[in-house]
Amino acid sequence: MDMLMLIFSLILIPMLSFEVNFYIYWLVLKMSLVFVIMLLMLKIYKYIMVYSSIFLNFGFDNLSILMILLSGWIILMMFISSLRPLKNTFALKYLLLIIVIFLFLFLAFGIMDLFLFYFFFESVLIPTFMLILGWGYQPERLRASIYFIFYTIFASLPLLVSIFLLMNMKMSLNYNYLEVYSLFYGNFSWVVMIWFFFFTFAFLVKVPIYFFHLWLPKAHVEAPISGSMILAGVLLKLGGYGFYRVYFMFKMFIYLFNSFYVMFIIYGSIMASLICLMQVDLKSLIAYSSVAHMGLMIGSVYVFNLISINGGFIIMIGHGLCSSGLFCLANIMYERISSRSIMMNKGLINLMPSLSIWWFLLMICNISAPPSMNLVGEISLFISLLSYDLLFVPLLFIFSFFCSCYSIYLYYITQHGKLNSLYAMNLISMRELFLVFLHWLPLNLFIFKVEVFYF
């Protein structure tokens, strides 16, 4: 099986770049070799079931190694999806930005120091900002990129101040020591409450949860396909990853006030799922569905038990693959119809029947139907919330109902109905079908090895 994966990475992925020039073929081949190295790292790592330090502040544990593998997988699919930008004169700059994003993500997930994580956490914003501003499809990309950069930088400033305060207290910033710190000693303190807000605000905006989400739909709508993939697949998970790393410091504080936070965040997820039913833009609808699902993940993790922590991590990985695949499908339709409006994309099962089955398969994964790994994640989150308080039953019922509603609505309104007019469209290429297949395959196969994601 491992040999088949190596052959797949070395041969099949580079062959998908046959539509571009020979130079780009070899560049994609080099990126495939990088992914092979990552596979070998995972093969070696599974025999080392403890934390493994490499040198200085670098190292891997179960959380970081899987996030690095997700980043590498999404980056490779970004190369496969980016045919249109690779045909212009700025192809080298475009590929260079993608490689720089992967480098910063690898360093952010592989570092074991909080300040260096913050440094690479912010560094990812710069190439992503350039990707949206330079290769976005509409003139509104300027406003979207400004929203993206200023929202995240403004929210990250309190985190930087908190890190400096922690350093001033002569505390180590290594993750292994952060988990044993407790900044709450049994008495309520407004200082601890403000410090907790400062530490987590940047990550809640990056996830994002509802009320701090306004940058996300704009960035997704105006970004090129590779920008939407990396945003949905990995960059949103940077917020969840950072939250996993720091919230152990405030565990006693969370025990007292988590009911308020959970109600606030799940209410926001319900609002996001309702907003999905009002959207007329395909990418905007998928972006708001990301807000709803990631809000449920963060809200459940606040319950602070092992089931919710494991379930939240599974949701992070599963949503990264599912949401990225939905953006790919929306882009395939946009490249042929030149519109993302739901009113224009109707009856497409008559024109693109091969794509309709992939819409269906990813939609049922989006509503956590078996055998997707989202099912295991949401069951874990629901169990943790209901074991904490049965008052969450109506909220979770409403959330699940409206998530199913907008997913069925999106599938039905795009694939069925009367065609507005006939379009002169290219056929769906094997490259595009294979791209969607690469999203769907790990999303459904990992359910047979779900213990990999347990802490």
pLDDT tops 70 at residue 8: no
Across residues 256-267, what is the average pLDDT? 85
Decide which of 296 and 53 is more confident: 296
pLDDT at 116: 87
pLDDT at 134: 85
Decide which of 34 and 436 is more confident: 436
pTM: 0.87
Q: Could you give the CA distance from residue 427 to residue 352 in angstroms, rounded to a whole number?
A: 8
C-alpha to C-alpha distances, 183 to 99, 121, 180, 199, 203, nearest whole angstrom:
39, 24, 10, 12, 19
User: pLDDT grade, residue 17 (50/70/90)?
Assistant: very low
In degrees, rounded to 5, the angle at the alpha carbon of residue 217 between the alpha carbons of residues 392 and 223 is 140
User: pLDDT grade, residue 38 (50/70/90)?
Assistant: low
pLDDT tops 80 at residue 87: no
Quick one: what percent of the chain has pLDDT higher than 70? Answer: 82
- Composition of the chain by helix, strand, coil, percent to 5: 75, 5, 20
User: pLDDT grade, residue 28 (50/70/90)?
Assistant: low
Across residues 384-409, what is the average pLDDT? 89
pLDDT tops 90 at residue 220: no
Q: Could you give the CA distance from residue 392 to residue 386 in angstroms, rounded to a whole number?
A: 6
Average pLDDT, the chain: 80
Q: Could you give the CA distance from residue 276 to residue 272 in angstroms, rounded to a whole number?
A: 6
Closest by CA to 76, choosing from 443, 450, 434, 449, is: 434
pLDDT tops 60 at residue 41: no
Across residues 153-158, what is the average pLDDT? 88
Identify the three-state secondary structure at position 452.
helix
Identify the three-state secondary structure at position 174.
strand
